[in-house]
Amino acid sequence: MAGNADRPIGVFDSGVGGLTVLDELLARLPSEDFIYFGDTEWFPYGDKSAEDLRARADAIAGWLLAQDVKMIVVACNTATAAALAHLQTHLDVPVIGVMTAESHAAVQSSRTRRIGLLATEATVASGSYQRMIAAHDAGAEVTAVACPRLAPAIQSGDPFDESVVDMVREYTQPLRDADVDTVILGCTHYPMVAKLIRRQVPDATLISSGEEIAREIADTLGRQGMLRDGGREGHYAFACSGDPDAFGTLGTRFMQMPFGDVQHVDPGVGPAT
Ligand code: DGL
């Protein structure tokens, strides 16, 4: 077993969305090794029950731990809402999710205290963002919009055509109506359509998970003495539960980096507790 700091960091999402987080992590922590798991067989998470997502997250975490990871990053808002607390309670390695850092950043950035949220149905229904924003500013008004078709449109790999523009226009209408000045991209897939979103809410500040969580992870590793020594270039590797070739092709397009061989892994379903 490698020394604590020299072990890789595990990252997972339902598909390619978490790559927007990995992208920031690779830039901020270039010496670290990463193992990314895309749960493409189970995609989308947005319409799954919290209980099913917890069971699946258990199984994925089990596989990542078998790869000897020193930390698990839940690079998916839906899985964070459903399973982060559960994973943190049961696992010995640090487990970091999205949401907390963006909620704080949104409150810091909003002058009008009117904050918009775009996320999956499950994330909006969980009320997690609303609670976290209230913890930072009980007087902030949150306009939350569930966007059930948006992550599937991105994950499909089809070119972004007028139908996606219409979809974004429709989902951002409540944000324009509420005159928000800050918008949380509350699904890790959404930064991939940030240009389309920005056009619909041109005056708002967009907050996304990647940058915020990368900062939090670098801090956590630093404080715990678990940062790998600099001066080396880290490795990254990919696995997914669906078709590895399709995942590699789509992922390379979004990341603009070579993916190497994507491993096929069926993590199964962990015990729902
Ligand atoms: N990327 C995931 C998230 O951040 C969601 C997409 C999905 O599986 O529905 O919520």
- Which two tokens mark 245? 């070739």
Portions of the chain given CATH number 3.40.50.1860:
4-97+211-264, 100-208
Query: Which stretches of 204-246 are assigned E, i.e. beta strand?
Result: 205-208, 236-240
215 CA from centroid of ligand 1 (Å):
21
Out of 41, 74, 76, 190, mutate this one to test ligand 1's pocket (max ligand atoms within 8 Å of CB): namely 76
Ligand 1 interacting residues, C-beta cut-off 6 A: 13-14, 17, 43-46, 76-78, 120, 123, 151, 187-189
- Which two tokens mark 31? 């010496």
123 CA from centroid of ligand 1 (Å):
9
78 CA from centroid of ligand 1 (Å):
5
Per-residue confidence (pLDDT) for residue 41, from 0 to 100: 96
Q: CA torsion 192→15→70→22, rounded to 10°?
A: -20
Per-residue confidence (pLDDT) for residue 3, from 0 to 100: 66
Query: Which stretches of 68-138 are assigned E, i.e. beta strand?
Result: 71-74, 95-97, 114-119
Per-residue confidence (pLDDT) for residue 270, from 0 to 100: 60
- Residue 79 CA: which ligand 1 atom is closest? 10
Q: Which of 107, 102, 180 is nearest to 140 (CA)?
A: 107
Pairing mode of beta strands 114-119, 141-146: parallel
Per-residue confidence (pLDDT) for residue 230, from 0 to 100: 84
15 CA from centroid of ligand 1 (Å):
8
Q: What is the pLDDT along the chain (273 residues), one digit of tens a residue?
A: 466 899 999 999 999 999 999 999 999 999 999 999 999 999 999 999 999 999 999 999 999 999 999 999 999 999 999 999 999 999 999 999 999 999 999 999 999 999 999 999 999 999 999 999 999 999 999 999 999 999 999 999 999 999 999 999 999 999 999 999 999 999 999 999 999 999 999 999 999 988 889 988 999 999 999 999 888 999 999 999 999 999 999 999 999 999 899 999 999 886 443
What is the rounded distance in angstroms from the CA atom of residue 196 to the CA atom of residue 160?
9
What is the rounded distance in angstroms from the CA atom of residue 107 to the CA atom of residue 86?
26
Residues designated catalytic: 76, 187
Nearest CA to ligand 1 atom 9: 46
- Residue 123 CA: which ligand 1 atom is closest? 10
In angstroms, the Cα distances linking 214 to 101, 177, 186, 241 are: 10, 32, 16, 25
What is the rounded distance in angstroms from the CA atom of residue 55 to the CA atom of residue 83?
8
Per-residue confidence (pLDDT) for residue 269, from 0 to 100: 82
The top-level CATH class assigned to 4-97+211-264 is alpha beta
What is the rounded distance in angstroms from the CA atom of residue 255 to the CA atom of residue 272?
33
What is the rounded distance in angstroms from the CA atom of residue 273 to the CA atom of residue 271?
6
CATH of domain 100-208: 3.40.50.1860
Q: Which residue has the tokens 């994925």?
A: 60
- Residue 188 CA: which ligand 1 atom is closest? 4
